[in-house]
Amino acid sequence: MRLPSVAKSDGKQRLMAGTRDRYIDTIRALAIVRVIVYHALGVGWLTILFPSMGIMFALAGSLMAASMTKSGSAVRTVGHRLRRLLLPLWALGAVAFLVMLFHGWPADDATQPTDPKMLFWILPLNAPPSSEWGDFFNGVLWYISTYLWFVLLTPLLLPLFRRFSVLMLGLPFLMLYVLDHHSFGLGDMVLNPARDFCTYLACWLLGFAHHDGMLLRLKWRVVVPLVLAAAAIGGWLTWIGRESSNFDLTTDAMPNAFWSFAFVLLLLRFRPSMAWLARVPWLERLIDLLNARAVTIYLWHNPGISAVGVVLARFGLEAEDTVKGAVLLVLGTFLWTFLATLVFGWVEDIAARRRPSLLPRSRRRSAAVDPPTVRSPAAAAP
C-alpha cells in the first residue's frame, strides 16, 4: 500500500538545485525558537501549541531523503550526515568534559570518566552519561541520539516506505503500543531510546513523503480527516493523562506521537506563499541564521539556561516566581545562545565543508521562490 507519488509531469514545478524552500526554513526557525522558550520556562502547553520535535524530525527526514536521492549512495549520504552532526557534538563534548574534570566526579557518582558509556559522547547511539556538572550539556542530547538512529536506518526505511508507505506510517503507533505494554526484560537504557525512536518515526516518514511529493498529491478530503482523527486521539490521550503530564506531550509517548503526526501532516501539506518574506530583510536574515546554525543553537542553548538561571538567582529573580525573572531568563538564554553561536558556529561550516565564518551568509537569492509543488532541499536541520 502506497501513498500517491508525484507524477513525472510535475518535475518542472520542483525547485532547481541550490534554491531554498522559505516555508520550510521558516517552520524550522519557529521550531528552534519554541524549543529554547520551552526549555527555559518549562511550559508544557507549548508542546501542544507547536510540537517542535516532531517538526524537526520531519524536516530532517525530508532532507535525508533528498540527500539519498541526489547522491545515489547510502554510504556517502550517511557519512555526510554523520559529519554534520558529530563535529558540533564533539565541540560541545570537549567543553563538557573540561567542565566535569574541573569540578571532579563525586566518589559516589555511578558515572565515572572511565565508564565505557562515555563513548556515547563520540558516537551517541544513546544519550551520553555525565556527572552532575555535565547534566547542563547532555540534557537535550536524546534528540541527537534519536536523529543518529534515523540517519543510520534511513537506507532501509526509505525504500520500505516508498513501497509500503501506508503500512509504514502505521507501524510506529503499533510499536509504541507494544513498548507501553511489554518491556521484554529490557532496561531503560534500551527502552527509552526505542520509545523516542518510535514516537517520532511517523514524522520522519512524513518527511520522506514530503520530499517525494506524496503529501502534495493527497487531496484535502483525505488530509483533513486524517489530521482530525490523529489530533483527536492525541488530544484525548493528553486529556485523560493531564494530572500526571500537566499537558506536556513530552511526558507521554503515545499522545505525543499522534499529536505530532497530525500537526506535521497539516503543516507540510499546507503551502502558503512566502513572497512577503523578501520585504522583511531582518526577519529573512534571522531565519537564515537559525537554519544555518541549527545544530549549534540546539546544543548550546541548554547550558545557557542553567548559567543564566544561576545569575538571576543571585539577584532573587527566579523564573518560576516572577514574570520579570521569566522574561530575563528567556532573553538571557537567547543572548547566551547567540554568543555561543559566534564562538562555536564555525564548526558547522567545517562539518559542511564550507569556509568558516562567524555568521553564515544570507540566502536571500531564493527568498521569493514559491512553487506550488516542491521537494525540499533545505540543508540546515540537525
Q: Which three cell numbers stand for residue 71?
A: 547522491
For the chain, give percent helix, strand, coil, nearest 5: 70, 0, 30
pLDDT of 106: 73
pLDDT of 316: 85
Q: Is residue 374 part of a domain?
A: no
Q: Is residue 340 part of a domain?
A: yes
How many domains does the chain fold into?
1
Residue-by-residue DSSP string for 139-161: TTHHHHHHHHHHHHHHHHHHHHH
Q: Is residue 251 part of a domain?
A: yes
Q: Is residue 275 part of a domain?
A: yes
Q: Is residue 303 part of a domain?
A: yes
**30: domain range?**
8-366
Cα–Cα distance, 359 to 373 (Å, whole number): 31
Which amino acid is present at 89? Answer: L
DSSP 181: H
Cα–Cα distance, 335 to 341 (Å, whole number): 10
pLDDT of 17: 39
Cα–Cα distance, 319 to 23 (Å, whole number): 33
Check: CB of residue 258 under 8 Å from CB of residue 236.
Answer: no
Beta strands in 286-339 (DSSP E): none
Residue reference for cell 508544557: 44
Cα–Cα distance, 51 to 147 (Å, whole number): 16
- Give the pLDDT means over successive 10-residue stretches in the chain (382 positions): 55 44 94 96 95 97 94 92 96 93 76 83 92 88 96 97 96 95 85 95 97 93 96 96 92 96 96 90 94 96 94 86 90 97 96 90 50 37 40
Q: Is residue 164 part of a domain?
A: yes
Kindly report the backbone phi and psi dihedral angles of residue 375, in degrees, each rounded to the nearest multiple of 5, phi listed first.
Answer: -105, 125
pLDDT of 5: 62
Neighbours of 372 (CB within 10 A): 8
Q: Is residue 373 part of a domain?
A: no
Q: Which three cell numbers stand for residue 75?
A: 554510504
Cα–Cα distance, 352 to 260 (Å, whole number): 29
Q: Is residue 381 part of a domain?
A: no
Cα–Cα distance, 224 to 47 (Å, whole number): 21
Cα 199 → chain centroid: 13
Residue-by-residue DSSP string for 284-338: HHHHHHHHHTHHHHHHHHHHHHHHHHHHHHHTT--TTT-HHHHHHHHHHHHHHHH
Which amino acid is present at 3? Answer: L
Q: How many CA atoms lie within 13 A of 217 on its CB side?
A: 16
pLDDT of 321: 77
Which long-range contacts (C-beta less than 8 Å, at least 24 apart) are formed by 64-72? 64/150, 64/151, 64/154, 64/158, 64/207, 65/154, 65/158, 65/207, 65/208, 65/211, 65/212, 66/211, 66/375, 66/376, 66/377, 68/154, 68/155, 68/158, 69/211
Cα 103 → chain centroid: 31
Nearest partner of 139 among 291, 305, 278, 283, judged by Cα = 305
DSSP-derived 3-state class of residue 352: coil
DSSP 1: -
DSSP-derived 3-state class of residue 206: helix
DSSP-derived 3-state class of residue 61: helix
253-269 helix and 188-211 helix, angle to the nearest 10 degrees: 10
